Chain A
Amino acid sequence: MFSKIVTSALLAGFCTGLIAALLQFVLIQPVLLHAELYEVGTLVHFGNGATDATPDLPGFDMMRDGLTLLFSALIYVGYGLVLVAAMGMAAEYGATITARTGLIWGVAGFVALHFAPAVSLPPEVPGGAYVDITARQIWWWGTVIATAVALALIAFGRAPVMIASAIALLLAPHVIGAPHPEAFTGPVPPELAALFATRALGVGLAAWALLGTLAGYFWARETAES
């Protein structure tokens, strides 16, 4: 069983990671590189008159972008393992897992691991003002776990109290609040930060939809053989 999970997750995660990296190169990397010009001070946003919004950006960097490709594949294989394990466990209890139902699992994964943390802690453009990394990581994991449990309660819960608990779990991290800085010192224009966050979420949704579909497809194929 373990090898079926790993096989499905590897195939789905690796394909998704490669496509997510390509989408990142086209949609996110130009915004990221642009923001870094402000982060290092090459461009200055305030008190300098108007700043050119279309500066020359560095091109494809074999080392840097190669590592992005590698880590994108690695992260989506990790997500794939979690997703396939959850799908497989649900299948043990009678859930039907196919490419079609996998899409819903993928979107749920996006909501739990990408969208919910982003509601209070938007994807961070380089050069923004941020508080201590550990506090943000603890909040990130807490939000992911609370949201994942909430989605499972909504999907598989029968009693109204489960739905009520799910709503409380969905809201709690945002009512408690993410760690935010006491002062804004980031040099990056808000236009870039906003574009970065929305692009990161858009690519994330596309990647998770693909991951769920592929994970469902490969899992159905792996388990059909036995």
Chain B
Amino acid sequence: MTALVQTAAKSTVLPFVAAMVLGLGIVTIAGHVQASALHDAAHDVRHATGFPCH
């Protein structure tokens, strides 16, 4: 019974956690990673969105 409840809880939370990790990953790559090609491409958006840029 406990195992069933735990499985149910896990499968309920997992998609939300996965989506949050995916979202934070996208924000990190687009907004924070300093590789120069990425930095140059995202430059104006990074400034406008208030990320530390240079």
Contacts and interface: CB of A to CB of B under 8 A. Distances in A.
A15 interface: no
A209 interface: no
Contact of B47 (A65, A75, A117, A123): A123
B49 A85 contact: no
B44 A68 contact: yes
Contacts, number: 130
B41 A123 contact: no
Interface string B13-44: 10111111011111100111010000001101
Contacts of A221: none
A137 B27 CA distance: 12
Interface stretch (A45-53, A98-106, A198-206): A198-206
Interface string A126-142: 10001001001100100
Contacts of A133: 34, 52-54
A157 interface: no
B23 A78 contact: yes
Interface residues of B, number: 31
A109 to B, nearest CB: 11
A64 B52 contact: no
Contacts of A82: 19-20, 23-24, 27
A90 to B, nearest CB: 10
B19 A85 contact: yes
Contact of B52 (A21, A89, A136, A204): A136
Interface in A67-102: 67-68, 70-72, 74-75, 77-86, 88-89, 92
B16 to A, nearest CB: 4
Contact of A114 (B20, B24, B50, B53): B50
B23 A201 contact: no
Interface of A: 1-2, 5-6, 9, 21, 24, 28-29, 32, 64-65, 67-68, 70-72, 74-75, 77-86, 88-89, 92, 114, 117-118, 121-126, 130, 133, 136-137, 140, 196, 200-201, 203-204
The 7 closest A-B pairs by CB, nearest first: A81-B23, A78-B26, A136-B52, A2-B15, A82-B23, A78-B27, A123-B50
